[in-house]
Structure 1
């Protein structure tokens, strides 16, 4: 019967994998183009749109951790520039991950467990959030799930070519984001829990060592760019609880039921698919716990934790929930005939649909223009409506506020008053500003100037440690007066007029 045997027929396994993948794909495509992007997505567009030499140049000073992803997007974005194509690789990544989670459940338990686990991953708001983001995290999750599936194959039938495939999967995944190397720690715990023979440890050790060696150039580059994560603060219990709730249902009955099923799965593990194979709990529990715990522990001394860095570990959660549901079903006082067959599989899928409907408001909120902290699309439209070719524009501050380059038509022909060297030419993200004296000389000639403040800089009393940004503020406060003010969530555009008109004898830019 469909989805009932252990292991199931080929058709059952195929359906168990295909249905979650199609579900994840459909949900991720739902309202994919929101008419805006946030600053990390804008960084993807700005860097990936540069030529290959310019891309290599910028990775030497910033964002090397995303280098492989930027290279991929360099070839993807020209196919159809815009937010849809920006996010499409993440959509594919989430769909592939749902398939791989289902394949793991089918392989380690039975097809219906795989079906439930894959569907749970597909409808989870945590997974869907990053399925609709133009960054590498959904692709990293796919790579981690694929490497985990390859590990289970290597344990069952060790062979050099299988270990080589495993090493390649881990390496590519870690090059997409180096924190994915924590996957190796999770897999080591899996091997220890499975009590594999020395031959398997030797094969895994060689594969892990090769992956670590291949990652060394990236580590060397990113160590010199650690200032990029200076904004991260040491995580505490509140951060741990937030991650737990994001991964297990936020709050209410769904949160309680999820935790209860995980507890059942851990206390009453489902039988292994075959002798010598990995158990589902031995695979899923370390995957779900080890990478976040290591990241949390390291971050107590050197803060590195952000919830998106742990997304790849989330694949372990739906596997545990599905295994818990299978254990509960096996102990229900019902005839054996009703514990197998299509009915239980469909009933479980129906409960997943109920869980999705319970979180539908959150799914809808995640697809709104206000889902992220930035709404750069609204800022770009504000600029397009008010600026004309030749108008002078001053960014304050410059870092992150030249993200308008992700919407080049919004500033086409506009004069960037403070820019000396563009980001593409200087190997930086935002470009290099002119010295204070040259900035003052340029502004002496301006009867009017538009100033784009970042959201934070637009508030009264904003202060900055940057001498360049202080120079801009000093000149504006001393020599200009505001005429018009337009605000959006992520920016404030102010038209300033020079008090008394341009300085006599100034040198135009």
Structure 2
């Protein structure tokens, strides 16, 4: 998993979500704390972690290294869980299959929190398995010739209780930290509750789990209250449907289509009969996505990256199914031969999925390439030229790659993001922008793909002024495009043409 995570890690550009991580994590801790009161509270702990990481060396590769480590840790934890719940070869196959899954490799190379959340959820599940393996008794009673318990016998119960309690509090602590990295990881507790029910855990175990889970939820509550007031950030998410569920299943089961998909699906069906392994794997894979999709029918919050941690259950089920078939079909086969055959099968699956792995490591697989937009700006815009970002979130390109915007005048900016406690800065009002526009004869507009469409009309007064006043008072002179983002030069409209109707679809002309 580490090797696959490092393969192609330097793509030569970051996309919009990574750009947010990059520019926020390089702020001071007080500036990050101020930002979280207004936006992105759900990623607060992750930004603080990345603040420490990027203090070593800010760059694209370092930005993604924690995710590589998180994915590698998840693969190891999946292997450990398979070995504990079944046998070592199940763990080996499951860990390798997790690494071979393209979805795991995709988020291993993303400068966001999702791979770390997956590691936390897998770690919590392993801790739950260890806690359930602790015996209820304290071992054989040791008494002297008078029938009295000796010091060793009296000390054993206290040592045992301390060990059991420490495991449960470690479990609760890992769940709490995981949920603070992303609050939607809280659904892992529902998966674990189903695991306890399937294993028919005694009342004592339920009580220990309830205390640890309750403590984690109490820690999460302040974050949930703050982030609930910032729900406008996810208003773009659609309501998930049957196609969303099918796409997630294909992403989880080692590839989008073909014999590999159907073979893995068949092994998963067999794995559901694998007893203890299935009791851990099936709830982890099914419960969080199902609950989030159901909740999203009322308030859309679903995206596959928010339930990436559920992926750990799929390779466990597949490996458990393969182990069950191997035991039925080859009772006389040498265990080492069976293990090697399983490893070879995973290698063949990886070879089959290699084109998808390559695709996931290209810039074209992400929604945008901010480095290319910055390079276009650096080539065309001269120092001192005024620039308008339409809308203001287009400023993320300048924040991620400031070299391309060195010396330009941000015409609408009143206070930068770090000073204003916002992601992209606070802009001046319409009256002040009118005054600033009146003082320039040419202005560059960097527009998002949708911003120059006739159907888009912003609600913010300053954004409306950018869209309307520029086209009323200026005429387009030059236009370039990179990855859907448009860079357009406007020059002041001649006085004789002031009454002419504005042109919304200019023909590109040389600078």
Aligned partner of 1:488 in structure 2 is 482
Q: C-alpha distance in 1, partners of 2:233/2:454?
A: 27
Aligned partner of 1:327 in structure 2 is 324
Q: Which has the larger radius of gyration?
A: 2
| TM-score, normalised relative to structure 1 | 0.90
2:5 matches 1:28: yes
Q: C-alpha distance in 2, partners of 1:231/1:118?
A: 35
- Within a 5 Å distance, the mapping from 1:401-440 to structure 2 comes to 401-440=395-434
2:285 to 284, 288, 299: 288
The offset of 1:423, in angstroms, is: 1.1
Question: 5+ residue gaps in structure 2?
Answer: 136-163, 496-511
The offset of 1:458, in angstroms, is: 4.1
Q: 1:458 to 1:350 in 2, by over 3 A?
A: farther
RMSD of the alignment, in Å? 1.3
2:465 matches 1:471: yes
Deviations 1:5-32 (A, max 9, x none): xxxxxxxxxxxxxxxxxxx000010111
Q: Is the 8 A contact 1:36 1:375 kept in 2?
A: yes
What is the count of residue pairs matched by the alignment?
Answer: 466
Aligned partner of 1:376 in structure 2 is 370
Q: Is the 8 A contact 1:401 1:454 kept in 2?
A: no
Q: Is the 8 A contact 2:441 2:492 kept in 1?
A: yes
- Within a 5 Å distance, the mapping from 1:88-99 to structure 2 comes to 88-99=65-76
Aligned partner of 1:260 in structure 2 is 266
- Within a 5 Å distance, the mapping from 1:63-74 to structure 2 comes to 63-74=40-51
Q: 1:358 to 1:458 in 2, by over 3 A?
A: farther
Deviations 1:73-110 (A, max 9, x none): 01111222111011110000000000000000111111
Q: C-alpha distance in 2, partners of 1:345/1:179?
A: 36
Aligned partner of 1:160 in structure 2 is 165
Q: C-alpha distance in 1, partners of 2:34/2:442?
A: 36
Aligned partner of 1:305 in structure 2 is 302
Aligned partner of 2:391 in structure 1 is 397
- Within a 5 Å distance, the mapping from 1:237-248 to structure 2 comes to 237-248=242-253
Deviations 1:314-347 (A, max 9, x none): 1000000000100111111x4x341x43221111
Q: C-alpha distance in 2, partners of 1:62/1:150?
A: 33
Aligned partner of 1:207 in structure 2 is 212
Deviations 1:138-173 (A, max 9, x none): 000000000000000111117111111001100000
Aligned partner of 2:174 in structure 1 is 169
Q: C-alpha distance in 2, partners of 1:231/1:487?
A: 24
Q: C-alpha distance in 2, partners of 1:461/1:481?
A: 20
Mean Cα displacement is larger for which, 280-289 or 150-159? 150-159
Q: Is the 8 A contact 1:401 1:453 kept in 2?
A: no
Aligned partner of 2:147 in structure 1 is none
Q: Is the 8 A contact 2:433 2:462 kept in 1?
A: no
The offset of 1:422, in angstroms, is: 1.2
| TM-score, normalised relative to structure 2 | 0.89
Q: Is the 8 A contact 2:394 2:446 kept in 1?
A: no
Deviations 1:182-236 (A, max 9, x none): 1110000000100111111111011001111111111111111111111112111
Q: C-alpha distance in 2, partners of 1:364/1:344?
A: 30
**Structure 1 stretches of at least 4 aligned residues deviating more than 6 Å after TM superposition:** none
The offset of 1:380, in angstroms, is: 1.2
Q: C-alpha distance in 2, partners of 1:216/1:429?
A: 24
Aligned partner of 2:227 in structure 1 is 222
